[in-house]
Structures are given as C-alpha cells and as structure tokens.
Amino acid sequence: MSDNLLSNINNPTDLRLLEEALLPQVAQELRNFIIDIVSVKEGHLGASLGVVELTIALHYVFDTPNDLLIWDVGHQAYGHKILTGRRENFHTNRQLGGISGFPKRSESIYDAFGVGHSSTSISAALGMAIASNLKGDFNKQHIAVIGDASIASGMAFEGLNHAGVTDANLLVILNDNAIGIDPSVGALKKYLTAVKEGKNPRQNNMIKSLNFNYSGPIDGHDIFAVVNELKRLQKIKGPKFLHIITTKGKGLQQAEENQVKYHAPGKFDANTGEIHIKSEENLPPKYQDVFGLTLLDLAKKNEKIIGITPAMPSGSSLKFMMDAFPKRAFDVGIAEQHAVTLAAGMATQDMMVFCNIYSTFLQRGYDQLIHDVALQNLPVIFCLDRAGLVGEDGATHHGVFDLAYLRCIPNMIVHAPMNEIALQNILYTAQLGLNHPIAIRYPRGRGVIVNWQSQYLGSYEKIKIGKSICIKEGTKVAVLSNGTIGNNVTLAIAKIIHPENIAHYDFPFVKPLDENTLHFIFTKFENIITIEDSVIKGGFGSAILEFAAENNYTSKTTVLGVPDEFIEQGTVTELQQYCKIDVKSLEILFSSY
C-alpha cells in the first residue's frame, strides 16, 4: 500500500483526484482516524463508523459543496467533517471553542444544513431542490442521508409525501442498520427487514408507490458498488431513493457487537475497543435511573401506570419498566408528537401515563402538548430528562427552553426537583392523581445522594403542589432557586465568610408559584436573586419579576440563568461558568453582600 492517503485529503477535491481503486484504503484510514480520536476525546462512534464507505463515495461522486449534502441528525457526520477541511482540528470535536459534534452551517460550506434532531433532512433537501428549480439550476444534486430510525418519524413521511409529486432533483439515501440509539422499532422496521431479506415482493414497494425511483438494497460497505450506484443515480432526474444496508460500528468488533453501548462509549482502547470503565462506587445515581427505578417500583404497586418514550428507552431508563412490564411500557420510535397524543388518549381512559421525553425533544411535540393535553386538562405526567445544560451535544440538545415554553400554557403544573428524593416524591405524588397535566424536569448526569437507592427508594412522601421550601434562613439576601441548580447555591453559601447574610429558598414549582412565601420574601428582603438552569427570558426568574410587578414590590431582583443566546458545546461545568451559575461565580456574587 502507498503512504497515508488521508493526510493529503484536505477537501473533497483532493479525494476526487485519487484512483477509485484506492478508496478502500481511504476508508480504512478514515475509520482508524475516527477510532483513534474518539477513543481519547469521546463522542458518537458507532454511527460514523457505519457510514465511512458511503461518506467517501458521496464526496467522490458528487460535486460537494456545489451539490448539497444533508446528514439527518448528524451523529454519523464525523467522516464527512474530516474529509471537508476539519481533519486537523477534529480533536476539538464537541469541546468548548472547538468544532460542533453535528453539522453546522456557520462552521463549513460543506455543511449544507444544521442538524441535531432527527427526520429533518428530506424536507430541507426538498426545499433546496425546489429552490434550485426555481432558479433555473436543474443539474444541482440534493442528497439527504437518513437512518431507518429517523425515517419512521412523521416529518420524514411528510417530506416523502411532498417530494413524490415534484420533479425535484432529490436523492434520499436510507442508511438501514436497524438501530438508532436503541434498536429501531415498529411496523416500518419490519417492512424494511422483509425487503432486506427478499421476503417482500418488489411490486409491494411502498417507496416506489410514493413515486420515487427506488433502487437497492445494496451493501453499504462495498465502496465500489456504492460509487457505481451513485454515478448511475446522478444521471437520473426527479426524486430518487437508494436503500443501503450498513452495520453500525463497522470495523470495530465490540462496536458491531454492542451497538447501543458504542453509540457514544466514552473513552476506550483504540486497539482493542475495550471501554475504560469508570468506577461508579460511592457515586450518586444518575437522575435517569432515579426516574426509571422509581417508576418501576410505583408500577409494581399501581396497575394503571403506563410508560411511554420516543426512542430513548436506555437513555431515559424507561427500559427498567419495559423489561418488567412490556405490555405497559412503550418505545414508540422517533415520534414525539405521537408519543404526546398517545399519552393523551390513554389518559382519557384513566391511565396514569408517564410520558418520558428529553427536554429538547418535547419541543417537537409542542402543539400536541397544548392542543391534545393541556386544552383538555388531561393529567399526563411529562418527565423531561436532560433538562438544562447538557454539555458536549451543544446548542441542538440543551434543554434550556422548557420552563419558558411550559410556563405559558394554561392548566400545566411545572416542577423541577432539587435532588433525588424530591424527584421520587413528585413521581409518587403525580401517580396518586392530579387534576392537571404536570411536567417534571431533571438534568443529565448524577444527583447528590450517594446511598439514594438503598436508603430512600420506595420510601415516599406526598408533595404539596405549589409549595416552596426554606432551605436556609438569612438576613440580607434571598436566593430563590429552581431545580438541581439549587445545589450550586448550597455549595456556594458554604464557602463564603458570612453565610448568615444569605437566605436560600427552593422553589421547585415554577407553576403554580408559592405566592404566600413570595409575599413574605419581598416584604422582608431588599435584595433577591433568582437562579435557574434555563433561559432567563420567560423562565422562573421572569415569573418572579411578574409577581413583583403585579404586587408593586420594589426589591432589587437579579435574575441568573442561561442568557438570550444559543449556548454552544462544552462540559456542563464550563457552560455553567459561562452563564455565571457555577459554584465559584455564585460564591463571588454572594460574598459581595
């Protein structure tokens, strides 16, 4: 073999200068490069390894960036980034000040569309293709690469439905590996499996029936077959659909064998694939596990409890209940709108429905939340995992808008527990029966109570809706915190010289607010600080300011939280520092009083 080829590929033009026979070597080098970097720096591994050949073939055949290439979600775009001028700084991937873990228009002209949430690629590519037609450019290619988990989402079908009645120069490539983050589910998966196994007659092809020129399925790891098929499709006008079969984690044995774990494995040995095990002894539980284990415990005692998640059973820990009660816990696939309205339908039949969705993904079901749940005042229990700043996934994934977008909806109860005990108690309280829907938000990462499971799980206390808690008395300043960020307040107060100056109140309920306590606070204190790990525009602090204005209180109120901008990637600690809601920033602020 010749010298390292990848080191001389700074853009797709360099790639296209190579003889086609050398592409398998490029694939091997690219795969090794991704493994070497991600093993040390962490990130999304399996998805990018699975599309190495496809990535090379796309940039080899098509005239990117003039031809427009869109990666659905973007977990799988590491190879794309490395081939498009970002090889030298790929080691900064997902780090503060580094490159984004997802395609991003402001980062590169090769990133035709910013992504991070699923199922947007077909609509975006179709929009671009129609625009090209309107501008008289009928030769430009528009390619959407979408996975079998993402294509099952309603939005993807909306795009396919429209594209099939256009003459848009659109190529949809289905990257079919039978897994998203967790294994794909549903009737569409069964259909695609039948196609792959040759058990479905070609005349039954549902994609062809939508007026697409369908080809495949072909082996997505046979780079010559992929290149040949792309060259053939390049000459065909109108909407086209290529079905390719790939293996997530291809080229790293452990990643192929354990695709869920190696989606984002953390640090691992690049040679053996063995994950570097972090000791979890004497660590508090993850909030997702507090939710999952508590729900399982409650479900054993209450047969009306139902669990629903859109494609995140492992990440949300609903898997505990799914394994124990498969008929009462549902993974509905990447379908947040369906998940919310499915929960609403069940709630009309007196079921206690826990609809567990990452905060950033509930944004995708907002109309259903308003129209199907809150308007009918159905007591669906929304459990919003990954609320607040989530870290390295960055702007597309931070769950910082939920307090603002939930607080304005009539009938909603909005709650953010400060720790594991508060979370299990609000879950317990909700399943006793509420007269309204409730949203319970909690963060990514670990809690604060090391022995929570052995000491507290199963020992429940009913919470009074709308009640705040005085954690610490004080004389000069009242700090009002919402949710787990209140633990930063506690730590900061413990570090200052005059802790007696600072009073600390936990306000878990953003709606309804504890107005009795607020009257007391505004009467007693001239200085008030609110803190939340969500946007300050319209959030918890805004609610406190509205209360003060309505009641003519004039205490000086400082609102801390996430500023009015999209926060990029970095560790949670770094991003809290940027927002000035970390322990050190609070310590400096509290010491000034």
Catalytic residues: 248, 336, 364
Strand 305-309 to 329-331 pairing: parallel
**What is the spatial distance between Cα 415 and Cα 406, in angstroms, rounded to a whole number?**
10
Please answer whether residues 68 and 125 qualify as being in contact, where contact means their C-beta atoms are separated by less than 8 angstroms. Answer: yes
Contacts of 394 (CB under 8 A, 6+ apart): 94, 100, 101, 102, 116, 567, 568, 569, 570
Angle CA 358–362–367, to nearest 5: 170
C-alpha 530, offset from chain centre: 27
Residue 503 identity: A
- 577 membership: H or E segment, kind and range: helix 572-579
**What is the spatial distance between Cα 8 and Cα 590, in angstroms, rounded to a whole number?**
54
Angle CA 578–579–582, to nearest 5: 85
**What is the spatial distance between Cα 560 and Cα 558, in angstroms, rounded to a whole number?**
7
- Joined together, the tokens standing for residue 228 give 């040949």
Strand 438-443 to 413-415 pairing: parallel
**What is the spatial distance between Cα 2 and Cα 22, in angstroms, rounded to a whole number?**
9
Strand 477-481 to 502-506 pairing: parallel
Contacts of 578 (CB under 8 A, 6+ apart): 567, 570
Please answer whether residues 302 and 352 qualify as being in contact, where contact means their C-beta atoms are separated by less than 8 angstroms. Answer: yes
Longest dimension (CA), the chain: 79
Please answer whether residues 169 and 144 qualify as being in contact, where contact means their C-beta atoms are separated by less than 8 angstroms. Answer: no
Q: Is 429 left (phi over 0), alpha (psi -120 to 50) or beta?
A: alpha
**How many residues are listed for the chain in this entry?**
593
Residue 39 identity: S
Contacts of 349 (CB under 8 A, 6+ apart): none
Please answer whether residues 310 and 334 qualify as being in contact, where contact means their C-beta atoms are separated by less than 8 angstroms. Answer: yes
Distance set, CA 519 to CA 355, 407, 514, 515, 575 (Å): 34, 20, 9, 6, 33
- Joined together, the tokens standing for residue 140 give 């430009």
Please answer whether residues 572 and 445 qualify as being in contact, where contact means their C-beta atoms are separated by less than 8 angstroms. Answer: yes
